[in-house]
Amino acid sequence: MTNTAVPEFQHRTVLLDEAVDALAIAGARADGIYVDGTFGRGGHSRLLLSRLGPNGRLVAFDKDPQAIATAQTIEDPRFTIVHDSFATMASAFAERGIGQVDGVLLDLGISSPQVDDAARGFSFRNDGPLDMRMDTTRGISAAEWLATESEQTLEKVIRDYGEERFAFQIAKAIVARRAVEPISSTRQLAGIVAGAVKTREKGKDPATRTFQAIRIYINQELEDLQAGLKQAYDALASGGIMAVISFHSLEDRIVKRFLAERANVPQPDRRLPIRAADLPQPEVKLLAKIKPSAREVDENPRARSAVMRVAVRLPVRLPEQKRPA
């Protein structure tokens, strides 16, 4: 049984049905162990729980204390919430005696409450303190980082994580402004970026890429993704399914490469005398690449950049034993 608290800021879960359907929770699989790597406000987790059998189990992760507070309102013995990144999956499983899991869902987007709450500092649309931390109990804020980081590192982060072609100009402007006054609010930073960006993309605020870059860097999002993908894959049972929803090209590129490396196995020269049973075998099969429907994007514009990739782990084929002569 679940109790649902009504949050101050509403969140619409992207690809809700598609993601849960992708994990194929039916029959014997309904009593398996599943992972929601980013609980958020619980949209995926609640639907996953509704599909699980009585012996099923769901382990969810989130770094955000507000998400954890929401998760703690779910009164279901099959549900466990972990206040940490999904990059700590391996140790969390070891502590709970979990060996293999039947499905993993990673939704890499930030939740609407995080964006809409000015106090979190994720958005330039409403003025607020320049924080940007997913977990406000750990690490340094964006304001603290901007106050001390070198101009060269600022430029690199904004260029690499924001894919911003005016990174040099923005970094230079940040360093010049902080010499005059502390950069402590989202409105201050957005104004600095607007003054440094000479050409604006149609329909996009000039601060969009810089805010994305700083958020990704402060929260180590790409490093967590790389570690989390490996740990999730290592825990995935034969026949287990992994579904990952990304929201920008940096994330999707990592996910695509990770799955492709395990699905596309280099084959030796066909002219070599190698038995078919001894050929390298793929570890996963790519099942789908799914984007939100036009209707979903119309109802929730934040879904427009989402891409979900789905793959199943294939059974390991053991080498044939030679028969005794």
By CB atoms closer than 10 A (0-12, 13-18, 19+), residue 66 is: buried
Helix crossing, 167-178 with 186-196: angle to 10°? 130
Helix axis angle, 167-178 to 151-162, nearest 10° = 140
Cβ neighbors of 85 (< 8 A, separation 6 or more) are 61, 63, 224, 228
Strands 57-62 and 79-83: parallel
Determine if residue 114 is labeled as part of a ligand binding site: yes
The verdict on whether residue 116 carries a ligand-binding annotation is no
Say if residue 107 carries a ligand binding annotation: yes
| 195 in a labelled binding site | no
* 62 annotated as a binding-site residue: yes
Question: What is the 8-class DSSP label of residue 63?
Answer: S
Distance CA 21, CA 103 (A): 11
Residues linked to residue 241 through DSSP beta bridges, in sequence order: 103, 312
As a whole number of angstroms, the distance between CA 67 and CA 61 comes to 9
d(CA 190, CA 299): 27
**Which residues are annotated binding-site positions?**
42-44, 62, 86, 107, 114
**Which residues are annotated binding-site positions for S-adenosyl-L-methionine?**
42-44, 62, 86, 107, 114
